[in-house]
Structure 1
Amino acid sequence: MAAAASVTSLADEVNCPICQGTLREPVTIDCGHNFCHGCLTRYCEIPGGDPEEPPTCPLCKEPFRPGDFRPNWQLASVVDNIERLKLVSLPDSAEEDICQEHGEKIYFFCENDEMQLCVVCREAKEHRAHTVRFLEDAARPYREQIQKCLSCLRKEREEIQWIQSRENQRIQVLLTQVATKRQKVVTEFAHLSQFLEEQKSILLAQLETLDGDILKQQEEFDFLVTGEIYRFSTLIAELEEKNEKPARELLTDIRSTLIRCESRKCRKPEAVSAELGQRIRDVPQHALPLQRKMKMFLEKICFELDYEPAHISLDPQTSHPKLLLSEDHQQARFSYKWQNSPENPQRFDRATCVLAHGGFTGGRHTWVVSVELAHGGSCTVGLVSEDVRRKGELRLRPEEGVWALRLAWGFASALGSFPTRLALEEHPRKVRVSLDYEVGWVAFTNAATHEPIYTFTAFFTGKVFPFFGLWGRGSSFSLSS
């Protein structure tokens, strides 16, 4: 390897300054610099400049006589020796720079044929009329194109890496949500299991008590019935015996005997008392707490598996001066009288709107807006991006970072790129707004009937805030989770 490096270093010392290749038929000019004879001849033939002026050395710019080239035989011998050493000591990869046809070094490039040429190839008939450049000159525009391609590819790679990072973050958020919901399911089912065991014990104890009371009443019934049967059997036996006697004996005390039998009232005992029967019929009522608990459990587990309740409050720093906020910032009422609100960049000055505190940068959240509208009033609920326009006219549409639903007197509209009037079975007075940041959903449902109203799809990249607008004297809204 050291020998190859030495040969390469020597070869660099005997390169032609014009073609950057190994000197071929080296000649020396007046200033002492050496060039290939062919390169210097072509250099002198290049048109331009004053034809009366002698050409100048490509290196030092000293003038020289075009016809006064002195062959440098000693340098030519050195070059030949170096070439032989290169063939012996340089690795096979160095042979790639040699023309396979002529054995000369390649240092030209034909742009017409896209071929690499040696000196002999360059002088061949088929390439004389072609555009031929030195390798580095020919490579320069291609290097520039490669740099442009590299710049575009690197930019696209960065975009893909950013998407990968963003999606990985979304996946981690979703995994965290799933883990949280898994824990909630385990906890809620554990509570339900404990409650069911308690209810099971209570119901079984009540049924056990009923079973004992039924058996007790059965014993009392059997005792009474047995006594009655015995007494009736005794009277029957007495009358049968009386009936078998002769007339004289039959008539003896016959009236008292008949009166005693006729006046005997049959008591008809009941096996199950009315009170016990009512208690048996009331058994399903004891399961009503279980029924209510199961309904609450199903509603709660379905809700918690869906969205996280958002405990939001209105931000007075963003509220339009015509909105009156409650002290707990959970309610707002429209007023034509302007409030004394200090001006700040966050406050809406044209649209009678207000935002919630905090905002969201991920997750699944839900909140409920209860709306009370006067005749001609309207309320807008939804979500906005952090950079939504606060000053001047606010266009309520997704392109402006607003995903909202407008409730007016008797109708509702989805405020898309073009407002869409919605056909609803029931005009909602309570609207549930649900956000899925990672998936990109803003869904509206009737909180009372659970009827879907409208769903926006979006791509969120920054913080978003719950958004509320109000218009009309006597119109108001309030928040709940």
Structure 2
Amino acid sequence: MASATSVTSLADEVNCPICQGTLREPVTIDCGHNFCRCCLTRYCEIPGQEEPEESLTCPLCKEPFRPGSFRPNWQLANVVENIERLQLASLRGLGEEDACPEHGEKVYFFCEEDEVQLCVVCREAGAHGAHTVRFLEDAAGPYREQIQKCLTCLRKEREEIQEIQSRENKRIQVLLTQVATKRQQVISQFAHLSQFLAEQQSVLLAQLERLDGDILKQQEEFESLVTGEICRFSTLIEELEEKNERPARELLTDIRSTLIRCETRKCRKPEAVSPELGQRIRDFPQQALPLQQEMKIFLEKLCFELDYEPASIFLDPQTSHPKLLLSEDHKQARFSYKWQNSPDTPQRFDRITCVLAQSGFTGGRHTWVVNVDLAHGGSCTLGVVREDVRRKGELRLRPEEGIWVVRLAWGFVSALGSFPTRLVLEKQPRKVRVSLDYEVGWVTFSNAVTQEHIYTFTASFAEKVFPLFGLWGRGSSFSLSH
């Protein structure tokens, strides 16, 4: 039995050039080409043609032929029939047992127009007589090509999604690591604080205990002194009361010495709490100053470890556009329409008025603050760029070029993404904090005064990045701070 591939190749040789289907009632014209009788008949039917004997041209070679000259090709018809028989046998050999639900015959054909599968009985029925009917494998060929194209596109899109999944999973793992680190930092810092607080509590309570004992001791001494004084005064009072009750002769006996003894008696007015002890009590709150200082250090250290690390940024004069005037400490820049006499090095920007920081980052979490002072019509661009960013010629400020920046202009702020986005803010920022999380891929901008979030870019960093600063407009300037 012939193989399915060889049978298919033979079937391709007996296709009608007009309908591209298997020849039906093949006829031959003067030039020798073969066509389906019905296809050639329709080809010869020219609208408005009154002389049927007028010469036509072959659909393939364009040789003239007479409409009535085509002859039945019985030998070719037998070949077509044998080929179809071989194809049917080949399909049976493949074990495809799907039967036509209407006639119960095996399905071998496919109607292109109605997109239905047909058995032999269906094919010979009048409903599909004028349609393009192919064997299943022949009809499946073009669809297989379309499926292959779809598969190529879908696989490409799946790969892109898998890359996104991998990138985002890495970002999530970095964030989880950061959160775990922060958790340990919080636990460690609070454990240290708890130990310090316990120690300080013991110290302060011991001091209060000593104060309490000293107060009770002075209270005991005071009570003893006051009791003695009261006792002496009570004795004098009783003596005078008794003297006063005696007759005149007895009252006047030694009266002067008695009165002198009472009049010269000085009353001591003791204090329950000594001045020194009172000062110690008043000075006790000063003992809590180390606690206050430690709490301040604790909060600063905790916030430092949980937040971004302040970066020390200096402007790089080797990259500065000639219209930017840098301060001697490389912390400030001012725009000038007058070009500076700067050497044209490969590192220097020559079209966009920008400057880079002297140092870049290959990891970590960093933050810096930019004070912006814009004149009317001025603008300032802030963010980060890849180390290999183009320095010469026009440069489009967008992530695709390795640039993640926002632009502060007179009256509005824009994020320069793939398409610039104008941002709605409560207040035009004059002091902007730029924060970089290299591993996660975040470039965040916020108002350093109000802490209002401005914008966050998400990227995937694989090489060194540098802080970038752009400036435009006479009278506009910026300065750097932590």
Structures share a fold, TM > 0.5?
yes
CA distance in 1, matches of 2:460, 2:469: 21
Distance 2:374 2:407 in 1: 18
Q: Deviations over 1:201-239 (max 9, x none)?
A: 331232223223212322331232122122212212322
Pairing partner for 1:50 from 20, 30, 36: 30
Using a 3 Å threshold, how does the CA distance of structure 1 residues 215 and 104 change in structure 2: closer, same or farther? closer
List runs of 5+ in structure 2 lacking aligned partners.
13-21, 36-71
* 1:139 correspondence with 2:140: yes
Corresponding residue for 2:242?
A: 241
Closer, same or farther: CA 105–459 of 1 in aligned 2, 3 Å: same
Q: Give the Cα–Cα distance (whole angstroms) in 2 for the partners of residues 133 and 122 of structure 1.
A: 10
With over 3 angstroms needed to count, the CA separation of the structure-2 counterparts of 1:445 and 1:273, relative to structure 1, is farther
Alignment deviations for residues 328-364 of structure 1 (CA, whole Å, 9 cap, x no partner): x6x2454868766543444222444322355457764
Percent of paired sites with the same residue = 62
Q: Does 1:216 align with 2:196?
A: no
Are residue 111 (structure 1) and residue 91 (structure 2) matched? no
Q: Which residue of 1 aligns with 2:185?
A: 184
1:40-189 pair list within 5 angstroms: 43=23, 45-47=25-27, 50=30, 94-96=95-97, 106-189=107-190
- Structure 2 vs 1, CA of residues 475 and 255 (structure 1 numbering), >3 Å: closer, same or farther? farther
Contact 1:444 1:455 in 2 (8 A): yes
Instruction: Say whether the 8 Å CA contact 1:377–1:475 is kept in structure 2.
Output: no
| Cα distance change, pair 268–348 in 1 and its aligned pair in 2 (3 A) | same
Deviation of residue 257 (structure 1)?
0.9
Alpha-carbon displacement from aligned partner over 1:413-457 (angstroms, at most 9, x marks no partner): 5344477797759x85x65333456485522233xxx42255113
- In the alignment, which residue of structure 2 is the partner of 1:198? 199
C-alpha deviation, 1:261, in angstroms: 0.7
Q: Which amino acid aligns with 1:257?
A: T
- The change in CA–CA distance for 1:170 and 1:441 in structure 2 (over 3 A counts) is same
Match runs of 1:298-309 below 5 Å: 298-309=299-310
What CA distance in whole angstroms lies between the structure 1 residues aligned with 2:310 and 2:147? 54
Match of 1:96, SS?
coil
Does the C-alpha gap of structure 1 residues 152 and 335 become closer, same or farther in structure 2, counting only changes over 3 Å? closer
| Local SS of the residue matching 1:94 | coil
> Do the aligned residues in 2 keep the contact of 1:443 with 1:456 (CA within 8 Å)?
yes
Q: Displacement of 1:173 after TM fit? A: 1.1
Does the residue aligned with 2:97 lie in a helix, a strand or coil?
helix
Instruction: Specify the SS of the correspondent of 2:244.
Output: helix
| One-letter amino acid of the counterpart of residue 383, structure 1 | G
Match of 1:61 in 2: none
Match for residue 279 of structure 2? Answer: 278
Change (3 A) 1:170 1:11: same
Whichever residue aligns with residue 451 of structure 1, its letter is T
Distance, in Å, in 2 between the alignment partners of 1:70 and 1:434 is: 81
Q: For the residues of structure 2 that align with 1:473 and 1:16, how far apart are their CA atoms?
A: 85
Give the equivalent residue in structure 2 for 1:268.
269
Specify the code of the residue in structure 2 equivalent to 1:384.
V
Q: CA deviation at 1:171?
A: 0.4
Count of residue correspondences: 421
2:208 paired residue number: 207
Corresponding position of 1:368: 369
- Tell me by how many angstroms 1:370 deviates: 5.8
Cα distance in 2 for residues equivalent to 1:49 and 1:107: 31
CA distance in 2, matches of 1:14, 1:347: 67
Structure 1 residues 14 and 334, CA gap change in structure 2 (3 angstroms)? closer
CA contact (8 A) 1:405 1:412 kept: no
Rounded Cα–Cα distance in structure 2 between residues aligned with 1:202 and 1:162: 60
In structure 2, the residue matched to 1:390 is 391
Greater Cα offset, 397-406 or 381-390:
397-406
- Matched residues in 2 for 1:413 and 1:354: separation? 22
Deviation of 1:252 after TM superposition, in Å, equals 1.2
SS at match of 2:458: coil
Alpha-carbon spacing, 1:213–1:341, altered in 2? closer, same or farther (3 Å): farther
Q: In structure 1, what is the Cα distance between the partners aligned to 2:144 and 2:8? A: 22
Distance 1:48 1:268, change over 3 A: farther
Q: Which moved more, 1:123-132 or 1:303-312?
A: 303-312
Partner residue of 1:455?
454
Q: In 1, are the aligned partners of 2:378 and 2:476 still within 8 Å (CA)?
A: no
Partner SS state of residue 452, structure 1: coil
**Long gaps (5+) in structure 1:** 1-9, 22-41, 56-64
- How far residue 395 of structure 1 moved from its aligned partner, in angstroms, is 7.4
SS of the residue 1:170 aligns to? helix
Q: What displacement does 1:170 show?
A: 0.8
Q: Which structure 2 residues correspond to residues 437-476 of structure 1 after superposition, within 5 A?
A: 438=440, 440=442, 442-446=444-448, 450-462=449-461, 464-469=465-470
Is 1:318 matched with 2:298? no
**Gap change, CA 1:344 and 1:45, over 3 Å in 2:** farther
- Check 1:364–1:332 CA distance in 2 against 1; reply closer, same or farther (3 A cut): same
RMSD after superposition: 4.6
CA-CA distance at 1:109 after TM superposition:
1.5
Displacement after TM superposition at 1:132 (Å): 0.9
Whether the 8 Å contact between 2:26 and 2:73 is mirrored in structure 1 is no
